[in-house]
Amino acid sequence: MASHGFSVAVCNRSQDKIDLTVKRAENEGRLPLYGFKEISEFVNSLKTPRKIVILVQAGKPVDETIEKLAQFLEEGDIIIDGGNEWFPNSVRRAETLQSKGIHFIGMGISGGEEGARNGPSLMPGGPREAFEQLEPIITKCAAQVDDGPCTTYIGPIGSGNYVKMVHNGIEYGDMQLIAEIYDILKHAAGLSNDEISQTFADWNTSELESFLIEITANIMAKPDDLPGAGGGYLVDKILDKTGMKGTGRWTIQEAAERNVPAPTMAAALDTRYLSGRKTERVAASAILHGPTEIPNVERSQIIEDAKHALFASKICSYAQGMCLIKAASDEFSWNVDLGECARIWKGGCIIRAGFLDRIKAAYVRDPELPNLLVDPDFAAELNRRHTAWRRIVSLCIASGISCPSLSSSIAYYDAYRRERLPANLTQAQRDYFGGHSYERIDRAGNFHAIWTDAHKDIGNVNERNAGNL
């Protein structure tokens, strides 16, 4: 903010952190940034209406920080929580502060270290009048792309946190898909680290262009320069356990709550859980058997197929995320613009990618698009690539290479494109053992069958459906 000409006050319980921040601002061109240890002095230094961004750990620390600030704030002041927060918490805080006339905005921020300094993607949700006070600042501070700053008014309170949560769920899916492709290129195609690096670098000049593809190329080529470590590549020395902060789990919980299938992202989350069971996996590797040979497939064919499979699966991951945002937006009357979500993810954020322009265009063509898969542009891509996609998943299964997100993605695609699924049998089973009834394809209404002599008439069939999701 200071580098964009705004006068900024900072406050932290650690004097060392305050001093470090102030010194950095001084070193970067005497930026207008001032430090305060006491909250009262910090608040009193700000012009009204005050705009205070808090960046603390989600949960109780946010509540404690708001409580300390609120005692010094006045009607019309604005608190902006820039952390990854569970959206109902933001709704609760907004309601509490509203009674004091204080506005509250939950603003998702994506961009990591680079975005924090050079411009992130900002996803604010809260009162429109509070956003309008904040807009001149965040439009300058956000990442800038060809069609504007990577920020917009997402909607009422909770919506900004929700869109950021789903962004992170898509990020989980994207990262897992890339990891699975890396596994295939390394173990099925036999590529070296340098060759994998070059492959991702080449893909980054194609329809797969994205931040995550770009950094994967860099990661694969990074030597291990730790003294005494014996050289080699750093990625090969990193323990195969993936950490997480919880937003991916929230995404899958929300998908279940909204009845939105999200198998690509769910598989990515499950794989992180499995990666954490390292000791169990080491023991299981000596007990459980799999294929001993990799099918003989030309490496050039594997590379080409992998590219198609990755792109098609990425479409599924974004489609699932957009469906989840739409479901929540409809339920809570947020009126979130999915095309704008795609636009503000084009710069600054972790999932920024070239094909977000095409996602934006899809929702501009049809704001009520039920699923990205049936947009004419993306449907053509999937129809063209699905054979290669199937070859890659089949190769993984034949080789004993786990590909949960790739395989979940094509299963999602196949289920969505089929006019009739075997769900008729599942519903028949539910009626058989629980009298849950079923609908017919040849007439309207709910029905129950007397499947055997042991089954009885259950009376009013409609009453059996009370409580259905």
Token pair for residue 407? 């395989």
Residue 360 annotated in active site = no
- How many other CB atoms sit within 10 Å of the CB of residue 185? 22
Residues 6+ positions from 203 with CB-CB distance below 8 Å: 209, 213, 307, 310
Q: Is 51 a catalytic residue?
A: no
Contact 462, 448 (CB under 8 A): no
| Long-range CB pairs of 61-69, under 8 A, 24+ apart, other chains included | 62/89, 62/93, 63/93, 66/93, 66/97, 68/39, 69/39, 69/43
- CA pair distance 52, 8, nearest whole angstrom: 10
The 3-state DSSP class for residue 437 equals coil
Catalytic pick from 26, 37, 67, 171? 171
Instruction: Give the active site residue among 51, 164, 326, 346.
Output: 164
Whether 82 and 109 have beta carbons less than 8 Å apart is answered as: yes
CA atoms within 13 A of residue 188's CA, in its CB half-sphere: 29
Do the strands 148-149 and 144-145 form a parallel or antiparallel pair, or are they unpaired?
antiparallel
For residue 49, whether the previous peptide bond is cis, meaning omega lies within 30 degrees of 0, is: yes
Cα gap 115→126, rounded to integer Å: 22
- 315 and 381 Cβ atoms separated by less than 8 Å: yes
Hey, which residues are catalytic here? Answer: 164, 171
